Structures are given as structure tokens and as C-alpha cells.
Amino acid sequence: MATSDEPRQQPLHILFFPFFAAGHLIPVADMAALFAARGARCTILTTPVNADTIRPAVDRANLHGTDSTSAVEISLMPFPDVGLPPGVENVTALATLQVDYRANFMQAMQLFREPFDRFLADNHPVDAVVSDSFFTWSADAAVEHGVPRLVFFGSSLFARSCNECLLRNSPLETTTTSPEDNDGGRLVSLPGLPHRVEMRQSQMMDPGNHLWEFFQSNNAADQRSFGEVFNSFQELEPDYVEHFRATLGRRAWLVGPVALGTKANALPPGGGADSCLRWLDTKPAGSVVYVSFGTVSSFSPAELREIARSLDISGRNFVWVIGGAAATVDDWSEWMPEGFIELTADVDDSRGFIIRGWAPQRLILNHPALAGFMTHCGWNSILEAVSAGVPMVTWPRYADHFFNEKLVVEVLKVGVSIGAKDYASSLEAHEVIAGELIARSITRLMGDSQLEGDAIRKKADELGVKARSAVEKDGSSYNDVGRLLDELMARRRCAAGAPRGGEEVRAADGS
């Protein structure tokens, strides 16, 4: 980047403002470490509890830095008093509560503008802000301070393009392509995309949902911003990079997979990771299915029972991470089938291994014993599987999950769907899918004599190689980071000596 040729030039200062959920906080911390490794000074603005989530990654990034690497800093702000229980400062904690506090949490999101404004006023100059799409107000706040805003949406360009299509073409009935059936509702074709994408109405947010206007407002604010940074890479979804830039006319830089971008993320095993990895060491290569649904998705006792039944029926070795509210319950007898616990009773010879709560997911996915990953299709989990070359069994729940499933199963062809049909939040009931159907998808992916499984595994391996190459020197993501930093530095030079204000910034941003 430009700073390497001008040693007297102050490094770029970039402020990161992530949404308060692990799936947003962690990739932003990795992204900040990535930008710092290229010479930028990076600050992450967050609250005390959320700082604890990212501090290990920040400390490792700074520890592994060099004399030419700028530091990653954490700047703290208090979480406002909006009636939430003490210590509940993120979506993960919110999902474990018995009372629905979502309205309180959304109220808090609006109150962070004041500390955001204060940071920009007190830390002039800041050369760019990377703020989450959920902080709609940050688009106008950044303009008022003369700072370009880069959006972080935390998903794929494919999902972003599908979502934009829905927001633009609502109501959904205008694109209905088939009559009502008895298997999940009407099929809807999403127009104007590079691939034919059909979704069931039941798999998408209803325009009547109270959050629909919120997402429309977010999308409008994002279009007013300087551009977007994606935790993705060119070779993963090239048609949608072109669609996003050329057809939608929106600026994008692909800088991922950010977890692969710095040596600081090559973590040694330790603590609770050791027993799981030792168990994996006893299993043949390509013999284990890993089951994990992220930190927010929750499952009813009936669904947990069917997952357990499917793992038993499949006959495969498995690692199952039981998270969310189920991880805090001591008595699992309500849902655990008779005889299932015996499958995990003996650490050395058992067919299964259960982890309660957090798991070293990247280490597990990269273990030679892994053959498949049953996932909720959160984007971070998909990227980690792609980076490790591991194919997927897909079980989407809500948010961008169903879009990501389409990308994995139909576009990339590195996954098998279990057939989930209902979009519902972590606080709402989902259809219970029979263990036999779940087991069938596992067998389709991992069957020794299945041509389909062989083709999927081959494609997954190829994508893993491309993911690792993207973040290496002269890789597509490595070069996109450089282009973005060069553009921000050029913008600083152009603006040097000019008055700062809304009109000048809009002119400099080309908006």
C-alpha cells in the first residue's frame, strides 16, 4: 500500500464498529488484525462484555505483529441502561433468556450514536469507519464527521444480492412461479440474479414482519455509503461479485476469509480443545461428521431428539456441539433417546463426542478425521468449512441461512440439504424434521460408494485450496485489501487542506 513508499506518512486510522453478536464481532476483529498487518492503525469500538469476546484475537494479533505492523486497539463504551439484565450486551446472551428482550436490545442499538459521534470528534482524523449494516444511523453520522463509511454485512455477496432483490421486488407474490403445494408453500423465483434461484415463501422473511422496514432502511443507508467489505473471496462467488458491482452499481472489496489472513489466527490447541482433538486422533481419516449450529440458533427438545436419532441411525462417528439454551440445561433426559448416551460414554472407543457450549471449530474442521459438517448455514461457519475443504449438510434456520444454503448446495455444489422449509427466529418454533431424513442426508454426503458424495468432496477440496490462496500474497483478497487501503490513502491526500463537511465528503466519495 501507499504508506510503504512514504515512511513519513501517518498510517491510516480505521474505526471498526461491529454489531454485538459473536458472528459479527469475531470476523471484524480478524479483519482489523488483517488491516493492521498491512500497516493501518485499527480501533474497535465496543462494550466491556463484547470486548471480552474479541480481546484474545486482538491480543494475539498484537503479539504476532512486527515493528512495521500497527496495533489493533479496543475502545470501550458503556452499554446503555434499557432494562436488560446485567451483563446482557450481545445477541448470544439475549438468546439464552426466558423473556423476550429484543425490543430493549434494539432500543440500545439506537443509543450508541452518541459514543460513536464522540469517538469520531475526539480522535480526528479517522480515515474510514467500518460499521455493521445494522447500525443504520452510522451512515449519516460518518458523513457528518467527514469520514467514509464502509459497510460490513457479515454475509455472502450471494445472500446480499438475494436480499436486495427481495427488498426491491416486494411483495413476493409478484414473482410466484408455481401453484400452492403441500410441501412448504409457494415457490418464488428471485429475478435478475446470475443463477436461477427459487425459494419457498416459508423460507424467507414475510414482508409483513416488523423487521422488514428496518432492513429496507438498512439497505438504503448502505447504498449511500462509500462501499462494502465482505468476508468472502473472488473465486468463491465470482458471478455475484460482478452482479453486485456492475448490475447493482455498488462498490465491494472482498478481503476474506479473514480468519486465514493473519498468522495470529493459527492457534494451538489448549484447554477443553485437547480432549476433543485427542478423540479425533483415534478416528480414521474422513470418518467423522461434525454437528454445530452456531452460538444463537436454538432447537426444541423434539428437534434435539431427532438430531440424536439421526446420528445413531447414520452409523457414523460424530462430534456434536450442543449450544444455546440447551447447553445450560443439566438434565437432557427430556430429549435424549434411550441408549444414545452410551454412544459417547467411552472417550477412547466411543462413536460420538459431545461438547457443551463453545468448541474449537476451526481446529475440528481442519482435522484429518473430518468428513462433513452439519451446519445452520451461518456465513462464518460456511467460510470455515470452505477454508478447510469440508463439505456440508445444510440445515438453515433464519436470517441469511436459506440464501447461503442455495449457494452451498445449488451453486457451489459442496453440500446436501436436509430439506428445512421454515424461516423462524431463535425464539420461534421450527418444524421437527425426522431423524431418518437427517440421517439420509449424512449418508448421501459421507457414503463410501456414493458418486454424489465423491463429487461434492472433490469440489470442497478445490474450494479449500482457492480459499487459502486468496489471502496469500498476490491472492485476490490480499490484493483487494491493498486496493482499498490505497484508495483510502489517496482520498486522504485529495482531501488534505480541504474543509471537512457533508458536501465535500459526498463529492470525494463520488456519491
What residues act catalytically? 24, 132
147: left (phi over 0), alpha (psi -120 to 50) or beta: beta
Q: From CA 118, how far away is CA 113, in angstroms rounded?
A: 8
Q: In the block, which residue shows the cell 500497516?
A: 39
- Stated as kind and residue range, the H or E segment containing 480 is helix 476-495
Q: From CA 375, how far away is CA 88, in angstroms rounded?
A: 26
Q: From CA 150, how far away is CA 170, in angstroms rounded?
A: 26
**Residues 58/265, Cβ–Cβ less than 8 Å:** no
Q: From CA 317, how far away is CA 291, in angstroms rounded?
A: 11
What lies within 8 Å, CB to CB, of 398 at 6+ separation is 423, 424, 425, 426
Cα–Cα–Cα angle for 228, 199, 246, rounded to 5 degrees = 35
Q: From CA 95, how far away is CA 324, in angstroms rounded?
A: 7
DSSP strands (E only) in 173-213: 187-190, 197-200
Q: Which triple of cell numbers denotes residue 490?
A: 489517496
Q: First CA to last CA across the chain, in angstroms? A: 24
The stretches of 80-171 forming alpha helices (DSSP H) are 91-94, 102-110, 113-122, 138-144, 157-169
DSSP strands (E only) in 284-434: 288-291, 317-322, 352-356, 370-375, 392-394, 415-417
- The count of C-alpha atoms lying within 13 angstroms of the C-alpha of 130, restricted to the half-sphere facing its C-beta, is 32
Q: From CA 299, how far away is CA 305, in angstroms rounded?
A: 10
Q: From CA 348, how far away is CA 282, in angstroms rounded?
A: 7
Q: In the block, which residue shows the cell 489472513?
A: 261
